[in-house]
Every structure is written in C-alpha cells, then in structure tokens.
Amino acid sequence: MPNVDATQITDGLVAALIVLLRIAIIAVAAHIVGNLLSRLVDRLFRPRGGDQLRSLADPRRVMTLRTLLKSIIRYTVYFVGAIMALGELGVDTAGLVAGAGIAGVAVGFGAQNLVRDVISGFFILFEDQYAVGDYVTLGGVSGIVEEMGLRVTKIRDFGGEVHTIPNGSIDRVTNYRGQSMRVMFDVEVPYTADPSATISLLQEAFDTHAKDIPNLVTAPQVLGVQQLGASGITLRILARAVPMEQWAVERRLKLLTVNIMAENGMKVPYPRTVVLRGEEADSANLRSTYLHNGCDDVQGHEGDKN
C-alpha cells in the first residue's frame, strides 16, 4: 500500500507538472503571438518615404487605429490563451464559451448604443471620412472638427459653440475640405456698359492681380452673362481657393471687382424711382398709353390733344 500511495502521488505530481508546463507554454506562446501581431500592426502604420499612409494622413487617426487594433489583437490572444489554459485544468470550456456568449449578448442588448457608437467611430476613422481640422456637416451641425474618437465627435461652429455628436447617430457626412474649394459669386453691371468689353476688362484685371491674392489655387474666370436683371446685367465669376480660405478669397475678389468698376467709371446698378408731378405726369401717362397701344407718333397725338 505505501508503494501504491507513493506511485499515485508521483503520478499526480508528474501530471500536475505536465499541466503547469502546458499552461506555461500556452502563456509564452500567447505572449509571443501578441508581440508578433503588434509589431505587424506597427509596421503596417509605419511612415513610408517620410509620409504617413496616404489614406491615413492624420497622425491622430494613425495613432487611434494602431492602438485600437493592438488592443483587439491583445485581448483576443489573451482570451484564446485563457480558454486553452482552462481546458488543460479540466474545465468545460465549451460551456464556458457558451455562457460567455450569452453574457455578451445580454451586455450587447443593454449597451447597444455604445457598441453602435464604437463600431461607427471605427469605420469613420478607417474610411477617412473626416479628420481633425476639417470643415464638415454632421447631423445638421456645421463646423470644424476639434476632436474625434471612437464614441463621439466634437465640432465647434463659427459661433464658438462645441457640439458633441455620438458617432452612431451620424448617418450623413458632408466634408468641405478637398484639394481646393470653389469660389463663385455674381456681379451686376449697368445696361449702359458694353458686356463684352466689361468681361474683357474684368478678366484682364483678374489675371494681373491673381498673384497678389493669397491662398488662390486657380485664377478667377469671368464665365459670362448669367442673368438679365431689372436694373443690370449679371456676370458670374469663378475661382478656386485653398480649403478653409475660400471665404477670405471671395471677399478679396469682390473688393477687387468693386475697385475695377470704380476705376473705369462703372457704377453698380440699383433700382431707381422717378417721381413726376403735374403736367409732366399727365404727359408721361399719355405717352405710356400710346406706346402701349402701338402708336409711334406720340408727339403728333399730343399735338392733336392740345
């Protein structure tokens, strides 16, 4: 009996040592796999040729995505390693995984808005929909992105107010930051001015002063006559500016247009009202009546009236 008891104890110790050795191997393997995958992520997001990845130009976006992916990899590897270690200890891992799945579903239902915000934030970052400093419209709010994370995006409008928008509620993104932004406005000139000569005059002045206007991407172009209004001819002017500078460029171009018109004696047309009194009013009404009836000899009819 004593020999049997010693043998059982020895076998038990050997089995326990084997289990502990397997658990240690699983832990070391999990650590090595986690480090290898983390290095792979770092290599994926490493700057190439002095520039960040073209699709991930914002350093904050690169850092956020890299940290997120490394966290997902680390917790996944640790979870798999823990399940394997529990299996070595004789725990029913199938039931444990099923229970964890049920618990995860329950938590998911309870925090579905949080999960939706995080998932939406991840794809916003990954797809490069907007970045910090962009001028965007999100959820009916327009402004400059001050901060963006996995759960919320913070926007400051031109009034100074900061709007915090959950990423899960963003169903449409309008990003006004591109390679260049359009600058387009109309200018009205009087009917007494020659349209062709006015277009040539404005275009020549724009070509001359374009180099003096900062943040201008393409020189202004006078597209032509846009509308025939009640008091003048409307000309349309088009240019392109550096993003977020289109408003300043537009103001500079409008000031330049006004100065050009003033230097060449052209006044900006405006509605006018002519007031006639006494005999002048009667004569004007008679003239208007005969012209409306198609009579050309207004003076003759006025003489017959007299």
* 32-82 tens-digit pLDDT: 988 888 888 888 777 655 444 444 455 656 766 777 777 778 888 888 888
Between 297 and 113, whose confidence is greater? Answer: 113
pTM for the whole structure: 0.50
pLDDT at 84 exceeding the cut of 80: yes
Going by pLDDT thresholds of 50, 70 and 90, the confidence category of residue 304 is: very low
pLDDT-above-90 percentage for the chain:
8
Which is more confident, 70 or 303? 70
The CA angle 32-36-39, to the nearest 5 degrees, is: 140
The tens digit of pLDDT for each residue in 239-278 reads 998 887 888 899 999 999 989 888 888 877 777 676 666 6
Per-residue model confidence as pLDDT tens digits over 104-149 = 666 666 667 888 888 888 888 777 788 878 888 987 888 888 887 7
Average pLDDT, the chain: 77
pLDDT over 80 (residue 25) = yes
- SS3 at position 219: strand
Predicted local confidence at residue 107, as pLDDT: 63
For position 303, what pLDDT does the model report? 47
Given this model, what pLDDT does residue 239 score?
92
Q: What is the mean pLDDT of residues 195-207?
A: 90
Checking if the pLDDT of 279 tops 70, the result is no
User: HSE (CB half, 13 Å, CA atoms) of 64?
Assistant: 21
Confidence of residue 9 (pLDDT cuts 50, 70, 90): confident
Complete domains list, the chain, with CATH: 2-110 (1.10.287.1260), 130-175 (2.30.30.60), 181-263 (3.30.70.100)
